[in-house]
Chain A
Amino acid sequence: MNPLPAPDLAAPLVIVTGLPRSGTSLVMSLLAAGGHPILTDQLRTPDPDNPRGYFEFEPVKSLMRDNTWLHAHAGQAIKIISPLLPFIPPDLPLDVIWIQRHLPEVLASQSAMLVRAGKPQTADPALLATAFQKQTLATEAFLTRRPRTRVLALQHHELLQSPVQQITRLQDFLPILQNHDAMLQTIDPALHRQRI
């Protein structure tokens, strides 16, 4: 009887994470350009806040209630904002691309997005800033502790200022990414608004 090959342990789920408006859509567009399988339903279409699109997947919004569907998407890249990372099933291996942006720029971008949507600012900016600072530390602690988790941390400004080096880092992290030039063309420094 021919022996079976050892069962392949589940391919990691690739997570693009960060605070909202930290550059997660940009990283998703890079992965798409590089040929990585992307999980998105394109329900949120491109707009002035994200001219190239959001690359989101609607079920992520209710991850706190139901996370079982994630198991079926091993090997794909999905955008999950950092406050929702703890709701990923702990037995799923992850490759995490964590993009971080200067917090005042994040908050300014969020504020601009709310203004464009005609929605009021929901909380005291100082309270929100403190909360997001703690959120960032919590994300670091979580990713450090989580078993079967690889992490690549990217800085938003480095991605825009030194795209060649940062794309190379991405390709080293995810060897499936092949098309360096296509990825390079995705980055447009003109889209870096709310500079602080």
Chain B
Amino acid sequence: MADAPRKILLVGWDSADWRIIDPLLEKGLMPVLASVISRGSRGNLASLESMLSPIVWTSIATGKLPHKHGVLGFIEPVPRDESSDSSLDHGCEGVRPVGSTTRQTKALWNILSEAGLHTHMLGWFASHPAEPIHGICVSERFSLTAADLSPLENWPLPAGTITPATSRGWLQDLRVHPSEIEGDALLPFIPRAAELDQSDPVTARLLTSLAVILAKAASLQAAATAIITKQPWDFLGVYFQAIDELGHHFMPWHPPVLPGIDPGEAALFGGVMEMAYRFHDMMLGQLLHLAGPDTTLVLVSDHGFESGAQRPGTIANDHATMAGWHRRYGIITMAGPGLTSGERLYGSSVLDVTPTILHLFGLAVGEDMDGKVLVSALQNPVPLTRRPTWDDPTRNPSKIPTPAPPDLVVPRSAPTTTSAEEQAVLDQLVALGYLEAPEASPTSLRDTARRELQYNRIGSLLEARDYPAAARHARELTAECPDERRYQLKLIQTLLHSQLPHEAQQVLTTLETSTAPCAGTHRLAAHLLLEQRNPAAAMARFQLAAALGGPSPGLTEQIGWVLLRQRQWTAAESHFREALSLDPDRPHSLTGLARALVRQDRDEAALEAALGAVGLLHFFPLAHFQLGAILSKMGDYARAIRSFEIGLSQQPGNPHALRYLSLLHRRHYHHHLGSGFTFSP
């Protein structure tokens, strides 16, 4: 590491994706980022199974899986014994947005503050109310557009947005109001905007959205640059949501033109996303210029965003399908003193950001963190220091109440209602004809939010391979909502992972007899048939799934794995290549392809595919085992041993892997003997 005190700038670009950035780099349209990459390292950043922004950005900030940090969705139920507070409640009865008090573990800014580093955080997801840190904390509500049509002078800043209170006055004046984003500022994004019919409500809403999103980004940029220039700092983190927000509005028009998209509209709006990235590049340039040449930059995104043929439709801002536009791999790039140059980062995950930054500051990494230090980004890695945890077991830091500012007028809080009272109102409204029948609507927003959080928790537990806990939560959820198909499918998936195929079959049978089949039920039925060693029947089910859901890289990949079981190497290779042609970043397809190729004695190609797999996803035991097997076949026993050891560290006790490793050690020993090595006991 560098000898001089390190300064680290952590910048978050929500949804930033190499697939859009790389063509812009080639055209020279993102010169700042190009410069960073040339003197640093870059790679894919694997996201989480649940690619919801509050979940992933909290994992980035804590180094922990969601079920550990506690932020499991966008909203949460307000506890019945907790009265509403205007700094916490966004106004929906019984629920509120997740915030800093939702988090159950310390975030990076808490740890760095404890270590005495001058720490500033701006706009991070789920950071409201702002926490007291050794610096300035600006919550995500700073840039929330709370203005009505009133003039800029009457644009209140929500309470709890900024700590310390002494920074509130000068920072709030830096906000940019959407009305200040005039027409000229939008022209780079929509050059032919003058042709638009602004009286059309849809067009007006698009232009308004663009202005609002840009104003939010500009507000955070202004605050970040002001803090860098005016305040002592060792660490500054700033999060920009704009690329994701703009993607959900404008990505359907991004070239190439999708079927169903009006070419005229694509011509008008198709340049917005490119300009969005260029705008962020300009902002990054300003930040780096002010931060100074010795700053270490860590630039990340939480996930990618579909921009090509895999775009799931022509509407990206439908709440029900928004997450389907997110891609599993975001971006990471790092540059600064003591960091490698021109390096490619492989196997990086969103969980690795906090451990890496802690290590760069010479601080210990928590053993309870799920991520690792990206040592390949470091020129001269020093030994890692660890500690059991940064959390104080006697005190949950996320529950430290933020004192309400003295000028806060707390409105009279409503007394909480009992379940009986809520049901009485619901029944009365249905009887009077003001509400649809109860079987068609959720009992309450609070219950819906609670169930969604539990659903996301199950995904996190699966990711952590805590299958018993995942199964327990899944059973509770389906018992509460037996008619919710999504929950049933999740339960079946969990039971399969838990190696409970009989119970999984029972649930699936019940589901299939009570509902119409869907692609999901066919896919799970196929997996169960594979468990029963019936690949032919499994293949039939996969084909039914394809007929219902249409071709998808995931389904094509799964069929490839069935073909592998049937030892149809050429057909399997064909399917994996097809899956990769639709989505090149699929580690499971690459691993399957590697297996198909090595079985055809095409070892070099197999090795390339296997390396690609572990390069994309580090925590993937099967991929490491596959790589090890290929290396062993090629006679590279030392590297093969290393691969198996990595795989076994992720999946301890795998009997096949242990036997193979033992064999490898023997071969490696004899290999050395054959080359003249003399063993002296």
A interface list, Cβ under 8 A from B = 1-10, 12, 20-21, 44, 60-62, 64-65, 68, 71-72, 74, 81, 83-84, 86-87, 90-91, 93, 110, 113-114, 119, 122-124, 127-128, 130-132, 134-135, 137-138, 140-142, 144-150
Would you call the interface of chain B mostly helix, strand, loop, or mixed? loop
* Alpha-carbon separation in the docked complex, A2 to B445 (Å): 48
Are the C-beta atoms of B425 and A128 separated by less than 8 Å?
A: yes
A127 and B445 contact, Cβ closer than 8 Å, known pairs A3-B184, A4-B182: no
A86 and B93 contact, Cβ closer than 8 Å, known pairs A7-B211, A122-B427, A124-B424: yes
B208 at interface by CB-CB < 8 Å: yes
In the complex formed, the residue of A with least CB distance to B90 is A90
In the complex formed, the residue of A with least CB distance to B199 is A8
Are the C-beta atoms of B205 and A86 separated by less than 8 Å?
A: no
* Alpha-carbon separation in the docked complex, A111 to B205 (Å): 43
Are the C-beta atoms of A141 and B425 separated by less than 8 Å?
A: no
Are the C-beta atoms of B414 and A138 separated by less than 8 Å?
A: yes
Q: How far is the CB of A56 from chain B (nearest CB, A)?
A: 8
* Alpha-carbon separation in the docked complex, A90 to B158 (Å): 15
Contact with A along B370-405 (1 / 0, CB 8 A): 000000000000000000000000000000000000
B interface list, Cβ under 8 A from A = 84, 86, 89-94, 144-149, 158, 178-179, 181-184, 186-187, 193-194, 198, 201, 204-205, 207-208, 210-211, 318-319, 411-417, 420-425, 427-436, 440-442, 445
**21 A-B residue contacts at CB 8 Å?**
A1-B194, A4-B182, A5-B198, A7-B183, A7-B204, A7-B207, A8-B198, A8-B204, A61-B433, A62-B440, A65-B442, A81-B429, A90-B91, A93-B149, A119-B431, A131-B421, A131-B425, A142-B414, A145-B86, A145-B411, A146-B91
* Alpha-carbon separation in the docked complex, A192 to B429 (Å): 21
* Alpha-carbon separation in the docked complex, A137 to B417 (Å): 11
Q: How far is the CB of B32 from chain A (nearest CB, A)?
A: 27
> Which of A123, A144, A146: most chain B Cβ within 10 A?
A123
A146: chain B residues within 8 A (beta carbon)? 91
Please give 19 more A-B residue pairs, beta carbons under 8 A apart, in addition to A65-B441, A86-B94: A4-B183, A7-B208, A12-B148, A20-B432, A62-B440, A64-B435, A87-B445, A90-B90, A90-B92, A119-B431, A122-B430, A123-B423, A127-B421, A131-B424, A134-B417, A138-B417, A140-B411, A147-B158, A148-B146
B425: chain A residues within 8 A (beta carbon)? 83, 128, 131-132, 135
In the complex formed, the residue of A with least CB distance to B83 is A141
Q: Which of A6, A90, A137 is the one whose CB lies under 8 Å from B182? A: A6
Are the C-beta atoms of B148 and A148 separated by less than 8 Å?
A: yes
A62: chain B residues within 8 A (beta carbon)? 436, 440-441
* Alpha-carbon separation in the docked complex, A146 to B436 (Å): 26
* Alpha-carbon separation in the docked complex, A138 to B92 (Å): 10
* Alpha-carbon separation in the docked complex, A90 to B90 (Å): 8
Are the C-beta atoms of A141 and B412 separated by less than 8 Å?
A: yes
- Shortest 9 CB-CB distances between A and B: which pairs? A4-B183, A131-B421, A138-B414, A123-B424, A7-B207, A86-B93, A147-B146, A148-B148, A122-B427
B440: chain A residues within 8 A (beta carbon)? 62, 65
In the complex formed, the residue of A with least CB distance to B150 is A148
Are the C-beta atoms of A134 and B414 separated by less than 8 Å?
A: yes
* Alpha-carbon separation in the docked complex, A113 to B423 (Å): 20
A84: chain B residues within 8 A (beta carbon)? 435
